[in-house]
Amino acid sequence: MSARRAPVLIFGAVFVAAAVLAALGYLSLRRWEVAAELQLREQARDTAAMAAEKVTMALGRAEQDGIAALQAAALTPDFGPAVVEGWKTRHPLFDGVYVFDRQGRMLYPVVSTGDEARLVAALRAEISQGFWERGGRRHLEVDGHVILAAVVPGAGGAPLLVALRRDERALRRDVLEQALGGAEGKGALAVLDGQGRAVFASHPVDAAAPVSTVPLGDALPAWRVALYQPAGLSPRDMVRRQAAIFMGAFVLLVAVIAAGLVATYRLVRRESEIARLKSDFVANVSHDLKTPLSLIRLFSETLEMDRVPDPERRREYYAVLTRESERLSRLIDNVLDFSRIESGRQRYEMTPGPVEPLIQEVLESFRHPLQQEGFTVEVSIAPDLPDVVMDDDAVKQALANLLDNAMKYSAERRHITVTARREDDGVAVEVTDEGIGVPVGERERIFEKFYRVGRSETQGRRGSGVGLALVKHIAEAHGGRVSVDARAGGGSRFTLHLPGGPACRAS
């Protein structure tokens, strides 16, 4: 596996793992949602069932009390309409009382109200012989009312049939309210009649649909207890909210993992790019050092052997020696300064002074190679240049690098312009060539350490990719900057901006 593919594969594997994790998380969240909703519904059902139980028990107790009292009264010798009236006032839960003897005669009410005909018919149909003999109680439904029918022993030993009709208002007040009125919690409990109307509600239920309903049994047939939850608290809403929180946290987690991976991936890529550039740098520097050294050696050996009788040629050879040793020391300076900058040990000695002599000095040191390589140089230095606080050697080194590049990256048109002009309180020095130029997309990157424009452009041109990084560092150490733009008609223009400072104005 190649070194470049390994990280891609590792990151791919981690991405796949994260994606599988996300999918599994999503599935289990969905499953949890269903289970949690079911559980909440179950809880609601239990609450409603308990409430139904309470209502049934309270109603059973009230009916039991009523029947027991009526039975006790029926056993008294003076049992008659007056006694039943008295019972009625003590048991307001029942608004209708009917008493029949074994022969089916109605003993109470004494005067027929006319609306008991259907009741009597229902009783005849429902109350069997066995019921008379066994006694007991049962509920019948007549005209939408629930009638409690019971056979109780009479005073003379003859059984009596009593039929009791409940008063709905009293039922609500004495039974439902008592049983459910104190219900705590956020939900509302309601008792719904056969038509689904709320006969009673512990809290207002608005138009909400019940979460759970439980039938109330034959004491209140077709009636149900319903549990309502306030808006936003229904099991579905609660589960959805919870699921949204889980989902949000999960998405955040996956996003953080993904962002971490991307950041690490980029870091690793950058590191391996720097490692590659560094190894290129070592190869380039070694090559750069070799070229002037071999020239120096060749020419000095030739001179040493006295093989050059012509003084003119000899002078030329000496000039080559000087030029190549200057180039060599520039190169070594660059590498040393660069390494000092990298380790944070580079110091500059700032003193105020004029820029022009430095420009002239650099041009002078390049005079010979420029001439030899057929360059024409145009120099234009404004007369009103202010002094600048600077490290002379550093500024000279920056200019030398710019000039060296201008020569290196020139092709057929060998013309270089050096200008210096005032810029605010400072000085801008421009080195313009008519060479290969810098592609727009590379104008930022060329100032990065070890960076060299695509191989085809720089191929064949010596270089190590630290020159411009050094120029940038020097410019910034002086509070200035270096910029590059295209020269109209081809080539590039590098500008070193050196700002003036308070120290210069004072001097």
Q: Does 285 bind ligand ADP (CB under 6 A)?
A: no
Distance CA 189, CA 446 (A): 77
Identity of the residue, 437 or 480, whose beta carbon is nearer to ligand ADP in the bound complex: 437
Among 48, 168, 161, 162, which Cα is nearest to 97's? 162
Determine if 277 is a binding residue for ligand ADP (CB under 6 A). no
Quick one: which of 467, 480, 499, 500 contacts ligand ADP (CB under 6 A)?
Answer: 467
Does position 187 bind ligand ADP by CB under 6 A?
Answer: no
482 bridge partner residues: 496
Rounded CA-CA distance 339/333 in Å is 10
Q: Quick one: 200 or 281, whose CB is closer to ligand ADP?
A: 281
| 202 forms part of the interface with ligand ADP (CB under 6 A) | no
- Taking CB under 6 A as the criterion, the residue among 52, 370, 438, 498 binding ligand ADP is 438
User: Which CB sits closer to ligand ADP, 240 or 487?
Assistant: 487
Residue 248 or residue 490: which is nearer to ligand ADP going by CB? Answer: 490
Q: Per this entry, what is the length of the chain?
A: 507
Q: And the tokens for 401?
A: 């690098």
365 binds ligand ADP (CB under 6 A): no
What is the C-alpha to C-alpha distance for residues 460 and 378, in angstroms, rounded to an integer?
Answer: 27
Per-residue burial over 139-172, b = 16 or more CB atoms within 10 Å of its CB, e = otherwise: bbebeeebbbbbbbebeeeebbbbbbbbbeeebe
Q: Rank residues 63 and 433 by Cβ distance to ligand ADP and give the closer one.
A: 433
Question: Is residue 457 near ligand ADP by the rule CB under 6 A?
Answer: yes
Q: Between the CA atoms of 38, 44, 47 and 52, what dihedral angle is there, to the nearest 10 degrees?
A: -100
Answer yes or no: are the C-beta atoms of 224 and 192 closer than 8 Å: yes
- Residue that the structure tokens 């219900």 belong to: 183
Widest distance between CA atoms in the chain: 168
Of positions 154, 369, 465, 501, contacts ligand ADP by CB under 6 A: 465
> How many Å apart are CA 500 and CA 480, to the nearest integer?
9
Counting contacts by CB under 6 A, is residue 292 touching ligand ADP?
no
CB of 276: closest distance to ligand ADP in angstroms?
15
CB of 240 to ligand ADP, least distance (A): 59
The pair of structure tokens assigned to 453 is 């424009």
User: Which position among 93, 142, 151, 468 is part of the footprint of ligand ADP (CB under 6 A)?
Assistant: 468
- Cα separation, 295 vs 314, in Å, equals 15
Cβ-based nearer residue to ligand ADP, 426 or 465: 465
Beta bridge partners of 212: 227
Query: 397 with 469: CB under 8 angstroms?
Result: no
One residue of 83, 122, 238, 436 binding ligand ADP per CB under 6 A: 436
In this chain, which stretch among 139-147, 175-183, 321-329, 463-471 interacts with ligand ADP, using CB under 6 A? 463-471
Q: Are 192 and 201 in contact (CB under 8 A)?
A: no
Rule CB under 6 A: which of 322-361 touch ligand ADP? Answer: none
Count of alpha carbons within 13 angstroms of residue 150, beta-carbon side: 19
Contact flags string 473-492 toward ligand ADP, x per CB under 6 A: -------------------x
- Contact residue for ligand ADP among 212, 365, 417, 464 (CB under 6 A): 464
Closer residue to ligand ADP in complex, CB, 212/405: 405
What's the Cα-to-Cα distance from 440 to each of 119, 125, 273, 403, 486, rounded to whole Å?
Answer: 104, 105, 21, 21, 8
Q: Quick one: which of 149, 226, 362, 446 contacts ligand ADP (CB under 6 A)?
A: 446
- Binds ligand ADP by CB under 6 A, chosen from 178, 264, 325, 458: 458
State in angstroms the smallest separation of the CB of 298 from ligand ADP: 24
Q: How far is the CB of 3 from ligand ADP (least distance, A)?
A: 25
Residue 253 touches ligand ADP, criterion: CB under 6 A: no
Distances (CA, A) of 485 to 16, 218, 432, 436: 45, 96, 9, 12
The one-character DSSP state at 435 is S
Residue 496 interacts with ligand ADP (CB under 6 A)? no
Q: Which region, judged by CB under 6 A, interacts with ligand ADP, from 179-187, 221-229, 389-397, 434-442?
A: 434-442
| Interface with ligand ADP, residue 398, by CB under 6 A | no
Q: Of 235, 292, 369, 463, which lies in the binding site for ligand ADP, with binding defined by CB under 6 A?
A: 463
Say whether 361 sits in a helix, a strand or coil. Answer: helix
Write out the two tokens for 135: 């006694």
**Which of 171, 165, 223 lies closest to 179, judged by CA?**
171
Indicate whether 452 belongs to the interface with ligand ADP (CB under 6 A). yes
* 435 belongs to the binding site for ligand ADP (CB under 6 A): yes
Complex with ligand ADP: residue 210 or 465, whichever CB lies closer: 465
Note whether 453 binds ligand ADP by CB under 6 A. Answer: yes
Note the residues at the interface with ligand ADP (CB under 6 A): 401, 405-406, 408-409, 433, 435-438, 446, 452-453, 457-458, 463-469, 492
